[in-house]
Structure 1
Amino acid sequence: MDELVLDDAQRTAAAALATVAGRSGRRRWAFPRPVPRGVYLHGRPGRGKTMLMDEFFERVDSKRKCRFHFHQFFARLHTAIAESGGLPAALDALLGDTELICFDEFHVHDVGDAMLLTRLLQTLFARRIVLVATSNYPPEQLLPNPLMHAKFEPAIALLRAHLAVVAVDGPQDYRARGCRDRICDRTGFSSGRYVRGHRPGADRPTAVPIAHLLLRARAAEADLLVVDFDEVCGKPLSAIDFLALTHTYRRWVVCAVPSLRRVPVDAVTRFVNLVDVLYDADLPLTLYTEVSLPELVRDVAAAPDLERTASRLSRLPGARPASVAEPAVSGEAWWPTSREGLPK
């Protein structure tokens, strides 16, 4: 993009990214020397964290850089561990000579993933690889379960020691606002729909094998998968399983989606993971439900990341009623104009 109009929180984050890229932008920030080897951007959904990270990633002048959604990286890591026989060899295979790695939606809810992540962070910083991450959580709120949180405190200390931690938490959810203002790009994920009612037409039931079970689909033809919520979210499927399904099915329809407060928390978590996977892959998602989007996510207890899910679903036509356009974002247009290298 040629010009970004940033709010105050976004400008602070952009300045931190520019500092890591070897320049201070229009302000100098009191980061300790040596320059932090990365940035951790955290805040509520839709505040522009991913947009800032992606702009930074595109402008860094390096061929030894990679960007992952967190689910995507962990899927590759588990595959590499199985193929190589251990974590050190798996990390060697995945990282290679990488000098910059960007993670979108950095989150930790599982103690097993937390242990893998701690080893990953130790490896990244030992190799002086620059890390940029976005998250809905400040470091201290990762792995929030009080019975397990202490196991992740060494990793939190690593994040604080090596990264500039910056809150990007302005008052506006730009993702939802853009769609209310009818400037939402209706391609990829956003070319799906949020439909109040039942799916019309006849079903063609079929069984889709995935992992250790069969998924009973209403239809599975070419690149289209039509499946009920209870089937895709009620069975023990992981984000890795959803990623595997996207290799074959590039258009998704999920039917009979209930108010999420009426379903078990495990099913809610799978729904969150499914939306994450489809959103990051930019694949069309159509939902059929009897409830509005606010009602869908209202009063759901113990469901991490559901606010992000609601923000992402707001991009679907039909998810939100039309409203009067809001004022343009205030703030000066600014981003470093030249391509930058990384700290050595």
Structure 2
Amino acid sequence: MGSRIRSAYDIRVEEGVIAPDPAQVPLIAALERLEEDLSKKGLFGKQPEVRGLYIWGPPGRGKSMLMDLFVSASPEPRKTRAHFHAFMARVHDLVRQWREGDRKSRKAVFGTHRGDDPIEPVADLIASEARLLCFDELQVTDIADAMILGRLFDALFERKVVLAMTSNRSPDQLYKDGINRPLFVPFIDEIKARCAVIEIAGARDWRLDRLMGSPVWFADGGAGRQAFETLWYDLKGGEPEEPAHLTVLGRDVVVERTAGSMARSSFADLCARPLGPQDYLAVARRFHTLFVSDIPRLGPENRQEAARFVTLIDALYEAGTRLVATSAAEPEALYPCGDGAFEFERTASRLREMASASWLEKATHE
């Protein structure tokens, strides 16, 4: 039987859903190898050791798209796909449940209650759910994540869980300049030993090409809304949407609709809630593209929401996060008069710059 991932890829090329890219060829071959290895049987019916994949390269090269295709096509019955941040949020929650749980609650979640160390029962639970664990956008910036990853992954590898992951960074660049990074280096060595490292670094950024070919500020009512929706679905491809949980100063800030490193939200959700600069900085660091819908005309009557919007735009601008928006007006006409209009002129200028092709092309985001 032929490779399922190759067949799925070829069908989409023939249908014109995706364009062939020579830079993706090594990755497709690596995914074919992984698919074949997962199908092999070990001696006496035991699962053999299977080397996973660590796929890295700049944004927009098709890493997530090919990962989604692989997960969909893989015949492995026990498989899980998640964004790395969502995966780690769940791990931290499971660790908390173990530490805070009594005998009964531990038994209900983990099937056991013995011991003080949460890593073993957490690894047992994850391994019971998935032999193949795939996640996107591995990036380690948090000391709590860095300290738990090595031990958790060691435990998962012992249970023959196979990892396939994408990242914008090479393994050696993970947690670069992080606190106590030497303690994290053994995890990097383990990843390189347990996973084939594949770089995908074609010159073409597919998401940027699509953004460059489209307006990103839509201020013309119904037609603009439809174009906004079309652009969102084009850019996320077949990637599933899921909520993202950002921990900011001990609080849980939820962005309900995300796909990999893209997010979308309404103006009301972002600016009518009591969010502050640290929340917006967390959003800007986490996502390379943010879709914001239903930006209203602004004025003294909604001055507080306007102030939050200014703070949000400043955070996105400094982080190089790309903005796609639907609005009641063009940037220069968003806050036309009244108290605060003069101060908003700087934000209007930034919005216009962020909608330009030159800014989209130079904007960078790790």
TM range (shorter): 0.5 to 0.7
Aligned to 2:254: 242
| Corresponding residue SS for 1:80 | helix
| Corresponding residue SS for 2:20 | coil
Alignment of 1:1-344 (within 5 A): 2-4=11-13, 5-22=19-36, 37-85=51-99, 86-145=118-177, 147-182=179-214, 186-187=228-229, 190=232, 236=249, 240-242=252-254, 251-253=265-267, 254-255=270-271, 268-273=281-286, 275=287, 285-286=292-293, 300=318, 306=319, 309-310=321-322, 313=323, 320-321=355-356
How far apart in 1 are the matches of 2:70 and 2:53?
11
Amino acid paired to 1:66: T
How far apart in 2 are the matches of 1:64 and 1:143?
30
How far apart in 2 are the matches of 1:241 and 1:6?
38
Q: CA deviation at 1:124?
A: 2.3
Whether the 8 Å contact between 1:234 and 1:267 is mirrored in structure 2 is no
Mark the CA change 1:127 to 1:186 in structure 2 (over 3 Å): closer, same or farther. Answer: farther
Identity %: 30
- Please list the CA deviations of residues 187-213 of structure 1 after superposition, one character each: whole Å capped at 9, or x if unmatched: 49828xxxxxxxxxxxxxxxxxxxxxx
How far apart in 1 are the matches of 2:228 and 2:75?
31
Whether the 8 Å contact between 1:39 and 1:165 is mirrored in structure 2 is yes
Whether the 8 Å contact between 2:135 and 2:165 is mirrored in structure 1 is yes
Structure with the higher fraction of residues in helix conformation? 2
Q: CA deviation at 1:73?
A: 0.9
Root-mean-square deviation over aligned CA pairs = 4.0
Mark the CA change 1:237 to 1:44 in structure 2 (over 3 Å): closer, same or farther. Answer: farther
Amino acid paired to 2:86: Q
Mark the CA change 1:264 to 1:171 in structure 2 (over 3 Å): closer, same or farther. Answer: farther
| Corresponding residue SS for 2:211 | helix
Q: CA deviation at 1:49?
A: 0.6
Q: CA deviation at 1:101?
A: 0.5
Which runs of no fewer than 5 residues in structure 2 stay unpaired?
1-7, 14-18, 38-47, 100-117, 217-226, 234-245, 259-263, 296-308, 328-353, 359-366
Q: CA deviation at 1:182?
A: 4.7
Whether the 8 Å contact between 2:61 and 2:201 is mirrored in structure 1 is yes
| Corresponding residue SS for 2:12 | coil
| Corresponding residue SS for 1:96 | helix
Q: CA deviation at 1:98?
A: 1.4
Mark the CA change 1:95 to 1:187 in structure 2 (over 3 Å): closer, same or farther. Answer: farther
Moved over 6 A (4+): 263-266
Does 1 or 2 have the higher relative contact order (CA < 8 Å, sep 6+)?
A: 1
Task: Identify the range of structure 1 (90-99 vs 12-21) with the bigger mean alpha-carbon deviation.
Answer: 90-99
How far apart in 1 are the matches of 2:214 and 2:49?
41
How far apart in 1 are the matches of 2:178 and 2:98?
34
Whether the 8 Å contact between 1:190 and 1:317 is mirrored in structure 2 is no
Q: Radius of gyration: which is bigger?
A: 2
Mark the CA change 1:128 to 1:183 in structure 2 (over 3 Å): closer, same or farther. Answer: farther
How far apart in 2 are the matches of 1:169 and 1:15?
15
Q: CA deviation at 1:83?
A: 1.8
